[in-house]
Structure 1
């Protein structure tokens, strides 16, 4: 079929009638499907069930240094757990603090500390007239929720195929001391699946911020979440790049095993410079005596090292890859050439980013919901839930069964067609 924009008004009206009939048929199926969050499926969670058996009442609950993991102590995490998470990100274990299950919790705490106490002796952000954060868009809704909750002004930075628009980042960071940070998902970004280029990473490392307490919040959530063995996107390691550029303290890096082991019972970390670590630990000693070392030991015994994680993630990829390809195939088959939407084919991560015709995203998501398929809310991938073009929709293929996923994807493309026709008719 030719592009919808080339259809006459009469052809669009006829097409609308046909699509409305199909939509009523879809509603009659009484679907109850959820593609709103990037949750691992039950099959993925089953992969980690043997982890629950690596420790028991007969187990030696001492780590490799002889520490009894049942007791207090070790504020920054077990030595072997630090090495395990350092292996994921390519940093030195000495740069790592191990936390509980959620890196989101660390990011929130990191912003909260900066607001209340300041970073490395600088004025607490809460005492400043204005604090700003740069937000690559479309991006991760929970990042934006953190900064919004603290009243931090968020500035949209357009994403390109190589990462954030670095010309814009450099200009804003260099000229405005109120710009204190930027959110980044450098590998298989949420939601587009874009991996930052080497040049982008090195430009980040070489930033010359007006604010001495400016920090890059480097959320490396999908660093080992490849979909293909032969298409693994790689990026330079940001901490060492910052050292080379003379900015050793400029990055807070985060990662976790949330989508590797169990989302509710994983381990996570922050990786940063020695100066930042001292500043963080000074406040952590007041906040906690230490995180769950038995769970850290469980992860170490199960995965052993980065090679164990890589082997485990190949099993995840075998489950996820067909789901991603099924959705992408349906998008291409049903929408290819119609010029009513575009999407990115990712090599890893957890999402597919879809851009509808301008002004259509909210209507598409609403149509899907009315027919029984819940999507991430339109606008969620932008600060303040305000997508200026009302076009971006995040698709999360991981959780549904293959059968449910196919049904949801078919309904999604039907809603895209119907809403697009209605939009085009407004101008005919």
Structure 2
């Protein structure tokens, strides 16, 4: 339960990928077996443009994982700067705002590249915008902010329209400030209601900051997690900037994989139908965890947990100082969890109170027993 991995039954939903390639010619005649196409096949760009609600010309399809694209954006910005500005590395120190609890791999990129991180508490509407606006207006070293705007990892928060508007319009001391918008769970609903999040690219354009946001997405939890297709969407200026750098890094992406994904996923209606099948597999597992927590922890003071409408995680909140001990006790019982503190920069949860629960991979029976074990581990930690 340490990562949000799709279960084998979910991966089986896309086994048609094995037969989705009767030919290797793209719609414009491109031979997908050969070099070239650094921005992706036209039909792949069109598909992700439809899925993300942006023109295909503002989409690049590259790599098999959006995390790779995020890492490259950071590296390109450090070494060469964003359009019209000096390299970040020449403007040290560099700082990023990190909504917490958040995604550990975002934080790992910053830590590995020497970028200082500042915790931003999450609310039910998104990051604490009063704090965000105050910090970015006063400190030119703050060059960016990580955002998982829909069904956030691990809290399941959906950014409100007001939060999106304020992020797009806020005054920043750094003219080269960027929002790294990780739209990883756009179609990953758990409830029958499909929650929506406003378009950050539209909001930034309306606020006069068209280059502020770069949106990332992938098929990793739609088709095959290890063999997906990733995309980046941004303003025309940012797309030109990206392609100028990526054309040096690579002679072209895996277009065969793009072609078979386009033929499998087709359009947004097909994706939505596939994700409904994922939902029917995932929701009973989440319900099982929630039922065990309610049964064993529902009346325990200081204990709470999220009830997400989508995404891949549940955030279990323990009394202060209890998360690490709970994870250790669970491990003794044979339950592997994400390390306590992983949802915070540098792996340091100041209250030692958050545990990320990932119900997707185990079977329903296993996840029911594991949730019971986690709850009993927490009760033991409290009793100690």
How many Å separate the matches in 1 of 2:240 and 2:28?
22
| 1:54 alignment partner, one of 20, 25, 31 | 20
Partner of 1:221: 184
| 1:209 alignment partner, one of 172, 175, 200 | 172
| 2:349 alignment partner, one of 381, 384, 387 | 387
How many Å separate the matches in 2 of 1:142 and 1:60?
37
Query: Retained in 1: the 8 A contact 2:45–2:59?
Result: yes
CA RMSD, Structure 1 to Structure 2 (Å): 0.9
Query: Retained in 2: the 8 A contact 1:134–1:182?
Result: yes
How many Å separate the matches in 1 of 2:27 and 2:268?
17
| 2:259 alignment partner, one of 270, 275, 297 | 297
How many Å separate the matches in 2 of 1:101 and 1:228?
28
Partner of 2:208: 246
Bigger Rg, structure 1 or 2 = 1
Give deviations 1:107-135, integer Å, cap 9, x for gaps.
01110111111111312111223100000
TM-score (normalised: structure 1) = 0.88
Total equivalences in the alignment: 384
| 2:92 alignment partner, one of 109, 129, 133 | 129
TM-score (normalised: structure 2) = 0.99
SS of 2:231's equivalent in the other structure is strand
| 1:398 alignment partner, one of 348, 360, 363 | 360
Query: Retained in 2: the 8 A contact 1:91–1:237?
Result: no
- 1:256-271 to 2 correspondence within 5 Å? 256-271=218-233
How many Å separate the matches in 1 of 2:293 and 2:100?
22
How many Å separate the matches in 2 of 1:240 and 1:78?
24
Corresponding position: 1:336 with 2:310: no
How many Å separate the matches in 2 of 1:235 and 1:113?
28
SS of 1:183's equivalent in the other structure is strand
Corresponding position: 1:66 with 2:32: no
Shift of 1:421: 2.0
Shift of 1:314: 0.4
Partner of 2:334: 372
How many Å separate the matches in 1 of 2:52 and 2:314?
23
Partner of 1:144: 107
Shift of 1:60: 2.7
Partner of 1:114: 77
| 1:347 alignment partner, one of 306, 309, 313 | 309
- 1:9-28 to 2 correspondence within 5 Å? none
Give deviations 1:328-386, integer Å, cap 9, x for gaps.
11111111122241011000000000110000000000000011101000000000000
Partner of 2:64: 101
**Runs of 5+ consecutive residues of structure 1 not aligned to the other structure:** 1-34, 423-428
Moved more, 314-323 or 282-291: 282-291
How many Å separate the matches in 2 of 1:303 and 1:166?
36
Give deviations 1:233-266, integer Å, cap 9, x for gaps.
1011110111011110000110000111111110
SS of 1:347's equivalent in the other structure is coil
